[in-house]
Chains A and B, each alone.
Chain A
Amino acid sequence: MVEIRFHGRGGQGTVIASKILADAVSKEDKYVQAFPQFGVERRGAPVFAFIRIDDQPIYVRSKIIAPDHIIVVDPSLIDAIDVTEGLKKGAKILINTGHKPKDFKHLGKKFHIYTIDANEIAIKYKLGSKAAPIVNTAILGAVPRIFDFVQLESILQAVRDGVPVNPDDNAAAAKEAYESVKGV
């Protein structure tokens, strides 16, 4: 079983990203469970989402406190909270940023850092506004490049099915993200 925690801020589509990833995984004969931090979300406040993926039915239903990997949708959270809390040794950390993986060495030697500039890609494809780009579909494109539990094709299909507008632009953003992950 793989357990992943998403870090974002309220209004960035973090929970939707976990749902679309669950959709993608479901296309590959796997079991999946995605859930938000159970609470009252406010725009701009730190939010969490969680996903479990397994080849077997998933019975455990408590919160994930020791994730295998994390995905950081909003890099400003790295200075605000401890995103690596409970994170397992050998974990992969995917960060949405224009910086390079080596710029995040301070997160610890026991983790592998990958970066993707999802903001730049989202702005290029006009997803959301320049001030508040919608980055979740671009970030999802980076996921199959780093992890082996899901294929790019499944992500692209889930993105097309899961966004309310501009399915082709969102899928193109995901594909571009797949090709431009740093740290691989």
Chain B
Amino acid sequence: MKKVMMGNHAISHGATLSRVQVIAAYPITPQTQVVELLSEIVADQKLKAEFIKVESEHSAMAACIGASSAGARAFTATSAQGLALMHELLHWAAGARLPIVMADINRAMAPPWTIWTDQNDSLSQRDTGWMQFYCQSNQEVLDSVIMAYKVAEKVLMPVMIVLDAFSLSHTYEIVDLPDQALVDTYLPPFDYKYKLNVNDPHTYGGLTTPDWYMEFRVKMQEAMEQALGIIKKEAVEFEKTFGRRYDPVEPYMVDDADIVLVTSGTAASTARFAVDQMRKKGKKVGNLRMRLLRPFPFADVREHLKNARKVVIVDRNISYGYHGIWAQEVKSALYGHSKVPVFNFIAGLGGRDIFPETYIDIVNQVKKMKKPDQELYWVEVKR
């Protein structure tokens, strides 16, 4: 059934269709409508789930960890400072191998106080052991929640669905709501082998000496490596079931492109539009949209950038004292495999708009340079 809905409600519907059993969340702009709608759905008994009101995001994640340990499918959603407050427990959820799914609506970090989008909140959680899927449409958001549970429960690692504040969360567009029966065939109930059982008590996560700690970490890394293959397989399975496909990266006109933009989130969607405009004027430009941050799709990135003469990563985030975070990831993938010059532009922090013209200006600037003469270039900043 096709319905016009905001990105936040696409998340709620994705969670409902996934038959989540425990929802624990604390409201924060721009995430609020996600849990508003879920609380209504639970109150109306359209979803058999426990809705736990908590006093902070730290507690929200703690409740999800408890629920997931007991074998329940657990869900939460947050943004910015809320995600940062969860930080300690993000490590715990991943280390305890709990397949929790969370939506993070990208909101820039304060201070100065802000509610608008950029990616520093989610990218700061890069090393916590959570998979991260970056979305560019409300349909992708809904579909990703369903797919995330499938992948998470196969490898026992948590997933963060990431979407831009306002430009997805509060934007209305047409979303195809899949039939519950179809989702049920794709996503079977969660059957957790290690769930807490009073008749067979175990202790998890207890003190582990240097003799064994590292072996736990090897298993987490192996699970993430395995997850990449599963995500690729699930892209095919999902397409067979629902007719829509989501690969780890989405190349657009990259094969013959001299300049390839590397982008993510809604800025990637606008980049694709800008590529069409530039192609009409005969400019050989392509776009590589990054959907996956973790597990990182090394091989796909190398493959799709192999013909590029210049690679231009546009980051809506920054690692202070370094440069953009996607640039760091992509450069690392290319190192030793390619000699292509890599340019890094920082744009759109704190919700500043990234227009098609922004990309056209960036491409014109890059055209004049053989290789970068700075580690990063700021886009449209006042001095």
Q: Name A residues whose Cβ lies closer than 8 Å to a Cβ of B.
A: 18-19, 22-23, 26, 31-36, 38, 40, 58-63, 65
Contacts and interface: CB of A to CB of B under 8 A. Distances in A.
B355 interface: yes
A139 to B, nearest CB: 17
B272 A62 contact: no
Contacts of A58: 173
Contact of A34 (B171, B353, B354): B171
A50 to B, nearest CB: 9
A35 B3 CA distance: 15
A19 B351 contact: no
A94 to B, nearest CB: 20
15 contacts: A22-B173, A23-B4, A31-B173, A34-B172, A35-B170, A35-B171, A35-B172, A38-B116, A38-B351, A59-B269, A60-B356, A61-B168, A62-B353, A62-B354, A62-B358
A61 B167 CA distance: 7
Interface string B241-268: 0000000000000000000000000110
A19 B4 contact: yes
A35 B116 CA distance: 14
B216 interface: no
Nearest to B274: A60
B273 interface: yes
A66 B351 CA distance: 19
A60 B4 contact: no
B170 A61 contact: no
Contacts of B272: 59
B326 interface: no
Contacts of B174: 26, 31-32
Contacts of B116: 38
Contacts of B167: 35, 38, 61-62
A156 B165 CA distance: 31
Contacts of A22: 4, 172-173
A61 B172 contact: no
Contacts of B170: 35-36, 38
Q: Is the interface of A mostly helix, strand, loop or mixed?
A: mixed
Interface of B: 2-4, 115-116, 136, 165-168, 170-174, 266-267, 269-270, 272-273, 276, 351, 353-356, 358
B82 to A, nearest CB: 18
Contacts of A63: 353, 355
A123 to B, nearest CB: 28
A35 B269 contact: no
Contact of B270 (A26, A32, A35, A62): A62
Most chain A beta carbons < 10 A, residue from B4, B276, B355, B358? B4
B353 A33 contact: no
Given A22-B173, A59-B269, 8 more contacts: A26-B3, A26-B174, A32-B173, A35-B172, A38-B165, A38-B170, A61-B270, A65-B355
Given A38-B351, A62-B354, A33 B171 contact: yes
Nearest to A61: B266
B166 A35 contact: yes
B172 A33 contact: yes
A33 B266 CA distance: 13
A40 B115 contact: yes
A60 B359 CA distance: 12
A26 B4 contact: yes
Most chain B beta carbons < 10 A, residue from A36, A62, A63? A62
B172 A62 contact: no
Contacts of B173: 22, 31-34, 58
Nearest to A27: B2
B327 to A, nearest CB: 22
